[in-house]
Amino acid sequence: MNFLRNTLAVLVGLAIAGLMITLGIRAFPQWVTFDAFAPFEHWQRFLESMKGEDAFFGFLLFISGLGTTIGGVVTAMIVKYAKVAYAILIGFIMLFIAMLDIIIFPYHPTFYKISIFLTFFPFAWLGGKIVSVIYERKNKRLKLKS
């Protein structure tokens, strides 16, 4: 039963992280150069149009870190044990997806390619650690009351 719970937690965390990143990109209408909301269909053309826009890629790093943190928090809240480890798994999967994006679409600046390694793992770890610390404090208070 824990396997299903953990699998569901990872899928929910990934969905939340992906949704946060997608909505973050759509937040600024001047960056979006396509009419219909189909991010995978237009991604190559979109990245070509963003070439030289360092502000966009900096914001993308920020929103990726924020989304990964929130995805890690949700994942850590759902799993029963090894909260930080499952949150880091979210960071690993998101890093893998970002690496595929960089390999398939070579329009990313060099600072972005380097910074994604420094973004996903620490922010996913932070999300898991937040929940871990909250649960430890809660358990400590419950033990003191008993």
Tokens of residue 86, six digits: 């499952």
Q: Which domain holds residue 108?
A: 2-145
Q: Which of 56, 54, 143, 64 is nearest to 99 (CA)?
A: 64
Q: How far apart are CA 43 and CA 93, in angstroms?
A: 20
- How far lies 76's CA from each of 59, 69, 71, 90, 131, in Å? 25, 10, 9, 10, 6
pLDDT one-digit tens code per residue, 87-132: 999 999 999 999 998 898 888 888 988 999 899 989 999 999 999 9
The pLDDT tens digits of the residues spanning 58-68 come to 888 999 999 99
**Domain count within the chain:** 1
pTM score, whole prediction: 0.86
Secondary structure class of 139 (helix, strand, coil): helix
Cβ distance 95 to 117 under 8 Å? yes
